[in-house]
Structure 1
Amino acid sequence: MKIIQTAERVSQQDQSDNYVFQRSLLAYLEAAKLVSGRVLEIGTGSGYGVEIIAPHTDEFVTVDKYQSGLERNSTDQKGNITFLQMKVPPLKDIPTGSFDFVITFQVIEHIREDEFFLKEIHRVLKSGGKLIVTTPNKKMSLTRNPWHVREYSIDELERLLLIRFTNIQTLGVFGNAAILDYYERNKQSVKRITRFDIFDLQHRLPRRLLQIPYDLLNRLNRKKLLSSNQELVTGITHEDYRIQTADDSCFDLFFIAEKA
Structure 2
Amino acid sequence: MLSMLRRNTVSMVVLVLVIGLLSGVGLAAKQKVTLWSFAPNNIMEWEARKADIDKKFDIDLVIEEVPENAFVQTLQAAMMDGTNFPDIIEWRIEQNQILDADPKRSLVIPLDKYVSKSDAFKKVPAGRVAWTTYGGHVYGLPHDVHPVVLLYNDTLWKSVGVDMAKIETWDEFFVAAQKLTATKKDGKPVHYALPYDGGGLGATMWMIWQQTGAEVLDKDGKPIFTNPEFTSFTKWWVDKVKSGMLVSWDWGNFGALLSDGTLAAYT
> What TM-score does the superposition give when structure 1 sets the normalisation length?
0.30
> What TM-score does the superposition give when structure 2 sets the normalisation length?
0.30
The structure with the largest alpha-carbon Rg is 2
Greater relative contact order, per chain length (Cα 8 Å cut-off, separation 6+):
1
